[in-house]
Amino acid sequence: ELNQGEVDSQAFHEKIRSVILEGTEALVNAAQSLGYLKGVRDTAREPLPSQECNLAALCEMAKELPLAGEQEECVQPLAAEDGRTTHVDLFSRVTENATVWASVVTLLGEDYVIPPHTAFLLSDFTRIQPLVHYERRFDLIVMDPPWENKSVKRSRRYSSLPSTQLKRLPIPLLASPNCLVVSWVTNRPSHLRFVRNELYPHWGVEVVAEWFWVKVTTSGQFVFPLDSPHKKPYEVLVLGRYRSSKDDTIRGVEALHQSWGQVLGAVCQKSSAWMD
């Protein structure tokens, strides 16, 4: 016998099934007409070497290192005036590549290409202050939270995160007016309801659309049977627009001063599981 959560999931699937089926068929047909999704492997191409990702290790290092002091600049250039990459503390503050060319930095034996006219903070949510104090706001914020689900719990690939913890993200302090906020959500109806009815309103974000990401093979087939009772070949993206207000900013400041250890551990472990 199905529990209430499983009943809700089945009802949601039946509601969107025809949209997924018809939309995927149209996109796959269009891709195949252009020469894609033929299901033919390039045997002449050698497989890429498998490399272990050190993203989780970088996050752990960031937690242990001190932030820039109040008297120090919160933003640092990645390249010197002569174009050479400088030796900078990439963990402590926002780092900018203001040049017109890409720069390469090496961390833990791996090379990272930093595009021109970009800035980044290599840190975690326990040390997000430099990003909040950065003089710029963001027009696009994309999140893929480690939602709680049975599959992840059984596999222990990464730690999950209770939905309510997401409210502690200081989105109002990071988003520009009308910023597009995108959240990946599992097919669990309770998570979708939480994003639509609690999380986005808490941040002052208005839902404007929902997209479906459908996963197919190189031959255009669903990676899982469409009606599988266990795993579905699609996920949901909830898109919203940030509508700024004074109350939202106050909530963002309050969130910034709370502990972020639980959020960080889950996010870092999830990233590592994906990259391995």
Name the residue with higher pLDDT: 25 or 60. 25
Same domain, 128 and 146: no
Same domain, 141 and 129: no
**Which segment, 17-21, 123-127, 161-165, is predicted with the most confidence on average?**
17-21
Chain segment 188-242, per-residue pLDDT in tens: 899 999 999 999 999 999 999 999 999 999 999 999 999 998 889 999 999 999 9
Q: What percent of the chain stands above pLDDT 70?
A: 67
Is the per-residue pLDDT at 125 higher than 70? no
- Nearest Cα neighbor of 38 from 212, 213, 221 is 221
The CA distances from residue 142 to 81, 184, 207, 240, 265, in Å, are 33, 8, 14, 11, 19
Name the residue with higher pLDDT: 200 or 2. 200
Same domain, 155 and 200: yes
The pLDDT-based confidence of 259 (bands split at 50, 70, 90) is very low
In this structure, is residue 63 part of a structural domain? Answer: no
**pTM of the predicted model as reported, rounded to 2 decimal places:** 0.74
Name the residue with higher pLDDT: 256 or 107. 107
Provide the mean pLDDT of the chain: 77
Is the per-residue pLDDT at 119 higher than 90? no
Pairing of strands 103-107, 234-242: unpaired
The pLDDT-based confidence of 104 (bands split at 50, 70, 90) is confident
Q: In what order do the strands lie in the sheet with 94-97?
A: 75-77, 94-97, 118-120
In this structure, is residue 50 part of a structural domain? Answer: no
Residue 76, beta-bridge partner list: 95
Pairing of strands 234-242, 175-185: antiparallel
Q: What is the pLDDT of residue 103?
A: 85
Same domain, 146 and 186: yes
In this structure, is residue 55 part of a structural domain? Answer: no
Same domain, 129 and 145: no
**Which segment, 30-44, 103-117, 194-208, is predicted with the most confidence on average?**
194-208
Q: What is the pLDDT of residue 52?
A: 56
Q: What span, in angstroms and rounded, lies between the C-alpha atoms of 58 and 218?
A: 33
Is the per-residue pLDDT at 123 higher than 80? no
Residue-level length of the chain: 276
Name the residue with higher pLDDT: 268 or 102. 102
In this structure, is residue 241 part of a structural domain? Answer: yes
The pLDDT-based confidence of 260 (bands split at 50, 70, 90) is very low
User: Residue 108 sits in which domain range?
Assistant: 75-133
- Nearest Cα neighbor of 6 from 187, 201, 198, 243 is 187
| Angle 226-10-202 from CA coordinates, rounded to 5° | 105
Same domain, 129 and 166: no
CB 242 within 8 A of CB 207: no
Q: What span, in angstroms and rounded, lies between the C-alpha atoms of 118 and 274?
A: 24
Name the residue with higher pLDDT: 165 or 212. 212
Helical packing angle, 55-64 and 261-275, nearest 10°: 160
